[in-house]
Amino acid sequence: MRKKKLLLLAIDRGGEEERERRAREPKRREREEFDFFLFSFHSKKLECFHCSPPPPKNYILFFSRISTIMAAVYAAAAGVGIASLGIASLFREYEPLKCESVVWGDLLSKTPSQKGKTIAITGTTSGTGLALAKGFAEKGAKVLMLNRKSERSEKALEEVIRVGRANGAPDAVNIDCDLQKFSSVRKAIEEVKKNADVLDVLCNNAGIMALPFKGTEENGFDQQMQVNCLSHFLLTQGVFPLLLKSKDARIVNHSSVAANTNGEFDLKSLEKHPECSKHYNSLWQMYSQTKLANIVFTKALDSRLRKKKITNVKALVAHPGFAATSLQTTHAKSGGRFNHFVMNLIKPFFQSAEDGAAGILLCSSSMDVESGNFYGPAQGMRGKGFPVSHEPKAKPITEEMMDKFWEKHEECVGARFEI
């Protein structure tokens, strides 16, 4: 018998006398009066051989059910095996997903020429910042790239210069700026002033995500809060006179969908470490506070601009949706296998870094954006797609909150920010 025949019932091998005996036992005859009845898993069907007469229907039904059960068992076993392999892969070292850009190319092609403009961007070594820097260089702008000095920053500068030269733009400039040190930010402000008499766009793009609670060495604030918000507040204050000289200046802050906490900004997050960390149960709570701070800062800045009737400077905020950038890599490496697991689990939902930068490009260049508004992807829980204006899922940001926020930030950075 061939190997594919897995189940064999040899029942009827009696002679004439046995057949007569069976005739006197109807029930037994019903059960046994056939020669061979077998099921082939290879062909996935019941097959009868030398049956006289054919097997009763109830037998076929019985073995059909058995075969269905066995097939389900095999499928379940295979599923467990596949799932085990899948789960195991989630604990591997996280690698960013390579995504094709969907909206970036179209948006950049519709962006007007930026020749004659000067754009300052923080965090341009990779991800959304590098995409924006290259995009503005392609459109002819002079780009000031504010990063910590490193091999990555030099490599990024070379990329942006190459793009700029191919499109007739001035060479981009690297400016050393460590957002974990207020002293470095102040030096960067002076370097910006040396490289530009007028600043058309300041994009506060740089950020870190869900890193361990830690105070910065020089200033003592939580590293996430200082990098993501406090240092950008100081930078904006320092270059604001240059922005006032522009005919159409933009201050663009970069937030996150993590700001959608349905909560409100907590001034306790601005306390120095370790006091600030005592108020939060997780790193993500602090990260959410920093991203909500970006929105409050934008709203407070817009409110002050309107009160002073300043119409040539817009304050805007955008978020990248779920964008595949180095933020996820840095977070994964900071917390062991579980962080790798979480990042690997959600990475199929990511869009490209270029598409993630679409919001800050729109805010930095479009004539159709409204000062004070929050822009982000329109699709998939605000994770992907073309950026549109929408309200953050947070408690209303009141004038009282904006005033307290502003005053506390001035206290933290040690500088008055008068509009």
| pLDDT at residue 136, as a whole number | 98
Q: Residues 146, 85: one domain?
A: no
Of 94-103, 189-198, 213-222, minimum mean pLDDT range: 94-103
Average pLDDT over residues 306-310: 98
| CATH number assigned to the domain comprising residue 148 | 3.40.50.720
Tell how many helices (H) and how many strands (E) occur in the chain. Answer: 15, 11
* 398 CB-contact burial (10 Å; exposed 0-12 / middle 13-18 / buried 19+): exposed
Q: Pick the last residue of a domain from 90, 124, 156.
A: 90
The parent domain of residue 24 ranges over 5-90
Could you tell me if 300 and 402 are in contact, meaning their C-beta atoms sit under 8 angstroms apart? yes
Pull the structure tokens for residue 300.
Answer: 């407070």
Q: What is the pLDDT of residues 27-74, one digit of tens each?
A: 444 443 333 334 343 343 444 444 445 445 454 444 455 445 545 554
| pLDDT at residue 353, as a whole number | 86
Could you tell me if 375 and 388 are in contact, meaning their C-beta atoms sit under 8 angstroms apart? yes
Closest C-alpha to 361, from 340, 343, 375, 380:
375
Does any domain span residue 20?
Answer: yes
Q: Residues 231, 150: one domain?
A: yes
Give the DSSP H or E segment for 174: strand 173-176
Q: What is the DSSP letter of 307?
A: H
Reported as a pLDDT band with limits 50, 70 and 90, residue 259 is confident
Closest C-alpha to 118, from 176, 232, 195:
195
What pTM does this model have?
Answer: 0.75
Cβ within 8 Å of residue 400, ≥6 positions away: none
Pull the structure tokens for residue 47.
Answer: 């097959």
| pLDDT at residue 283, as a whole number | 85
Reported as a pLDDT band with limits 50, 70 and 90, residue 192 is very high
Q: What percent of the chain has a predicted confidence (pLDDT) above 90?
A: 59
Highest mean pLDDT among 76-90, 93-107, 205-219, 331-345: 205-219
Average pLDDT over residues 268-288: 90
Of 80-89, 122-131, 158-167, 387-396, minimum mean pLDDT range: 80-89
201 or 74, greater pLDDT: 201
Q: In one letter, which amino acid is 238?
A: G
Q: What is the pLDDT of residues 231-250, one digit of tens each?
A: 999 999 999 999 999 999 99
Q: Residues 109, 85: one domain?
A: no
Q: Residues 182, 319: one domain?
A: yes
How far is CA 36 from its chain centroid? 62
Pairing of strands 249-254, 201-204: parallel
Could you tell me if 354 and 104 are in contact, meaning their C-beta atoms sit under 8 angstroms apart? yes
Q: Residues 280, 361: one domain?
A: yes
Q: What is the pLDDT of residues 172-184, one digit of tens each?
A: 999 999 999 999 9
Does any domain span residue 96?
Answer: no
Mapped onto helix, strand or coil, the DSSP state of residue 36 is strand
Q: What is the pLDDT of residues 328-347, one digit of tens each?
A: 566 556 555 656 566 666 66
298 or 324, greater pLDDT: 298
| pLDDT at residue 100, as a whole number | 86
Residue with tokens 């995504």: 99
| pLDDT at residue 406, as a whole number | 98
Reported as a pLDDT band with limits 50, 70 and 90, residue 382 is low
Q: Residues 379, 408: one domain?
A: yes
CA–CA distance, 355 with 361 (Å, rounded to integer): 10
Could you tell me if 320 and 356 are in contact, meaning their C-beta atoms sit under 8 angstroms apart? yes
Task: Check whether the bond before 53 is cis (ω within 30° of 0).
Answer: yes
Q: Pick the last residue of a domain from 58, 90, 122.
A: 90
Does any domain span residue 378?
Answer: yes
| pLDDT at residue 46, as a whole number | 41
Greatest alpha-carbon pair distance for the chain in Å reads 115
| pLDDT at residue 383, as a whole number | 61
Could you tell me if 389 and 373 are in contact, meaning their C-beta atoms sit under 8 angstroms apart? yes
Considering the chain, what is the average pLDDT of its residues?
A: 81
Q: What is the DSSP letter of 218?
A: T
- DSSP letter string, 322-345: SB-SHHHHHHHHHSHHHHHHHHHH
Could you tell me if 130 and 162 are in contact, meaning their C-beta atoms sit under 8 angstroms apart? no
Q: Residues 62, 159: one domain?
A: no
Q: Residues 236, 342: one domain?
A: yes
Q: What is the pLDDT of residues 389-410, one digit of tens each?
A: 988 888 889 999 999 999 999 9
| pLDDT at residue 121, as a whole number | 99
Count of structural domains, the chain: 2
- DSSP E strand boundaries for 187-286: 201-204, 249-254
Q: Residues 214, 350: one domain?
A: yes
226 or 30, greater pLDDT: 226
- DSSP letter string, 48-114: EES-SSPPPHHHHHHHHHHHHHHHHHHHHHHHHHHHHHHHHHHTSPP-------SSHHHHHHHSPP-
Could you tell me if 392 and 292 are in contact, meaning their C-beta atoms sit under 8 angstroms apart? yes
Pull the structure tokens for residue 23.
Answer: 């005739």
| pLDDT at residue 347, as a whole number | 64
| pLDDT at residue 284, as a whole number | 85
Helix axes 326-334, 336-346, angle to 10 degrees: 150
Does the pLDDT at position 226 exceed 50? Answer: yes
Which string of b and e fits 218-232 if b means at least 16 CB within 10 Å?
ebebbbbbbbbbbbb
Does any domain span residue 296?
Answer: yes
| pLDDT at residue 30, as a whole number | 40
